[in-house]
Amino acid sequence: MNKIKRVAIIGGTHGNELTGIYLVKKFDRTPELMVRSNFETIALLANPQACKTGTRYIDIDLNRCFLHQDLENPNLSSYEAKRAKELYHILGSQNGHQQDLIVDLHSTTANMGLTLILASQHLFNLQLAAHLTSVYPNLKILVSEVENQDSPLLISISELGCTVEVGAVAQGVLDASLFQETEALITTILDWVEAYNQGTISPVKHSLTIYDRIQAIDYPRTESGEIEAMIHPRLQFRDYEPLNPGDPMFLTFDGESIAYAGKSTVYPIFINEAAYYEKGIAMYFTQKKIVIS
Amino acid sequence: MNKIKRVAIIGGTHGNELTGIYLVKKFDRTPELMVRSNFETIALLANPQACKTGTRYIDIDLNRCFLHQDLENPNLSSYEAKRAKELYHILGSQNGHQQDLIVDLHSTTANMGLTLILASQHLFNLQLAAHLTSVYPNLKILVSEVENQDSPLLISISELGCTVEVGAVAQGVLDASLFQETEALITTILDWVEAYNQGTISPVKHSLTIYDRIQAIDYPRTESGEIEAMIHPRLQFRDYEPLNPGDPMFLTFDGESIAYAGKSTVYPIFINEAAYYEKGIAMYFTQKKIVIS
């Protein structure tokens, strides 16, 4: 594979996720932190208008604007649809001029600790993930089952890279510990890419645990779409822990438990993510897999 | 004192604080939960438009719209300024027709557990607070040092009652445990008011700890107003715990600690409340006091 020529660190894809926004601002003030010997690094805010207003988006969710058909559709007029085209132009590697790696920084109200969502299961990404989990044992690695399909996510611009999710942290809040953990992770990524370009990376000899996103689960709702139940207290903040058949998932407003009715153990993530209420997602189910690297 | 004729349970003063919104919806569906023998109870959403959009407010913070001069100003055109006048008409007891008690339900991203902010230090409120802390030992009681002055808060419509703050919970998120704790608190308040009207309350013979809000503290900022530091990890989620001279308060983006430079121990609250970044408030300092009831 070719060497990495440029790494893009993206913050503020959602304007109320402050960790990434303030990290990009820090890199803007002190760009020497991003400098490595054999590739260029840029840091930018993906949705500057939403960052100003402190909201997830202005018109629509920017991180759902990167389907090819939308990027090629001249009739879309929302702020985010236009901004997606600009970002695709700035970051896209499809023209073959450069091999980009993108790190898109997010935060979540779910208790997902430090999570890497790989842009693809490209060997490069798996090697990077294996290295990072050897440095940060609590780091979780997430992939989506459906690979190589058209995706609306910003990270889909590049095959190489990852979305970083950190939490639990409320929207509009800076958590100093999560800020520092995310910065350390980025530093390690940049160091590893430098070694990769130098051909000095040593393969990590251990198994890699990955969580494979298999299904979105909505809240119980009335016919008119109103939520009828909340995340059960015994599931709240238990991201990545096993949910077994019969375990409580939801609690109605009258105090009745609703159990998980599936037949196999799953590992829920994005449990009670604030931004997903409007998307009809109470959590995602994942499967836990071991990859031998 | 006259008997209580009506209790108003208010949710959705801020449209992204879901606990109160979903409690009011529950009381709307099952009004029998609010019924007591000797007074009327109503439940209503203070800012229905903001509840629909899931944002704190539409134009301005409704919970800063209740200054007398604003309520009497016919030229204010924001949605919330108009709504404040409607609420003042619905809830106001200034006309002398009834003695209202208001319970205004909020949530916070700060780790304030279950907190009552008393509308005033009226003996009625102190008696109610003493009873509630005897039932819920972890309940915190908060007052503001400046009493009997014009206040912009909704709760200032009535001398009797309280604002309820529960947290930590992210904006836009329902936390089932906090929902149930808040509902239980309301039930106990209604039961106590019924007993009060019957003249059967027994004075609580114990000391009451109250926290007196004395000062708002901003984040360290640049000349242009940009935040320069975050809440220190050792202070994060430590609401109501003592902050002593020399204890770390903030952490700069470069990792330097900033210590509390005051001379006396204070008890910070609303630490890292998302909605207060724009207000220039990183936390409030309080003093801890013992009131013998």
Cα dihedral sign, B27-B30-B35-B39: positive
Q: According to the model, what pLDDT value does residue B204 have? A: 72
**A residues 217..236 contacting B (CB < 8 A):** 226-227, 230-233, 236
Mutation to test the B interface, candidates A253, A256, A257, A278, most B Cβ within 10 Å? A253
- Residues with Cβ within 8 Å of B146's Cβ and at least 6 positions away in sequence, in order, are none
Are A251 and B176 within 8 A, CB to CB?
yes
B147 touches chain A (CB under 8 A): no
| Residue B63, min C-alpha distance to chain A (Å) | 19
Q: What are the backbone angles phi and psi of residue B268, rounded to the nearest 5°?
A: -70, 145
Closest residue of A to B167, CA-based? A170
In chain B, CATH 3.40.630.10 sits at 6-205
Please give, rounded to a whole number of angstroms, the shortest distance from the CA of B9 to a CA of chain A: 17
- Tell whether B280 is within 8 A of chain A (Cβ): no
pLDDT score for A207: 84
Residue with tokens 């013992």: B290
What are the structure tokens assigned to B127, written together? 């008696």
Residue of A nearest to B169 (CA): A170
CB contact under 8 A, B171 and A172: yes
Instruction: Please write the tens of the pLDDT for every residue from B22-32.
Output: 999 999 999 99
**By C-alpha distance, which of A72, A247, A91 is closest to A157?**
A91
Name the class of domain B215-286: mainly beta
Distance from the Cα of B258 to chain A's closest Cα (Å) equals 13
Q: Which residues of chain B have pLDDT under 70?
A: 93-99, 145-148, 293
Is the distance from CB of B62 to CB of B17 less than 8 angstroms? no
Contacts of A231 in chain B (CB under 8 A): 174, 176
Please indicate whether, in this complex, the C-beta atoms of B176 and A236 are within 8 angstroms of each other: yes
Nearest to A57 by CA among A44, A65, A47, A67: A47
CATH 2.20.25.160 maps onto chain B at: 215-286
The type of residue at A105 is L
- The CA-atom distances, in angstroms, between A163 and each of A186, A255, A290, B66, B271 are 11, 36, 20, 44, 29
Q: Per residue of chain A (293 residues), what is the pLDDT tens digit?
A: 789 999 999 999 999 999 999 999 999 999 999 999 999 999 999 999 999 999 999 999 999 999 999 999 999 999 999 999 999 999 876 555 566 899 999 999 999 999 999 999 999 999 999 999 999 999 999 998 665 578 999 999 999 999 999 999 999 999 999 999 999 999 999 999 999 999 999 877 778 999 999 999 999 999 999 999 999 999 999 999 999 999 999 999 999 999 999 999 999 999 999 999 999 999 999 999 998 75
- What are B43-63's pLDDT values in tens digits? 999 999 999 999 999 999 999
Q: Cβ separation of A179 and B230 shorter than 8 Å? A: yes
* CB within 8 Å: A253 and B22: yes
Separation in Å, CA A102 to CA A4, A156, A158, B97, B138: 11, 9, 7, 65, 46
Ranges of CATH 2.20.25.160 domains, chain A? 213-286
Q: Do B173 and A274 touch (CB under 8 A)?
A: yes
The chain B residue lying nearest A229, using CA atoms, is B176
| The model scores a pTM over 0.80 | yes
Helix, strand, or coil here: B211? strand
Q: For A86-93, which contacts have Cβ atoms below 8 Å and span 24 or more sequence positions?
A: A87/A46, A87/A154, A87/A157, A88/A157, A90/A8, A90/A44, A91/A8, A91/A10, A91/A157, A91/A158, A92/A157, A92/A158, A93/A157, A93/A158
Report the candidate in A6, A46, A32, A19 with the shortest Cα–Cα distance to residue A182: A19
Helical H segments across B58-100, by residue range: 68-71, 79-91
Sign of the Cα torsion A188, A194, A195, A199 reads positive
Report the distance separating Cα A290 and Cα A292, nearest Å: 6
The highest-level CATH class for domain B6-205 is alpha beta
- CA–CA min distance A34, chain B (Å): 14
Mutation pick from B253, B254, B272 vs chain A, by most beta carbons of A within 10 Å, is B253
Question: Chain B: residue nearest A232 by CA?
Answer: B176
Q: B273: nearest CA in chain A?
A: A173
- Candidates A16, A166, A173, partner chain B, best to mutate (most B CBs within 10 A): A173
- A213-286 maps to which CATH number? 2.20.25.160
Cα Rg, chain B, nearest whole Å: 19
Chain A hits for B173, CB-CB cut-off 8 Å, are 109, 170, 272, 274
B48–chain A Cβ distance below 8 A for any pair: no
B290 contacts chain A (CB < 8 A): no
* Cβ–Cβ gap B272/A173 under 8 Å: yes
- Chain A residues in contact with B25 by the CB 8 A cut-off are 226, 253
Give the residue from chain B lying closest to A52, CA to CA: B278
To the nearest 10°, report the CA torsion of A196, A202, A207, A212.
0
Tell me whether residues A274 and B22 touch, CB distance under 8 A.
no
Report pLDDT for A1: 73
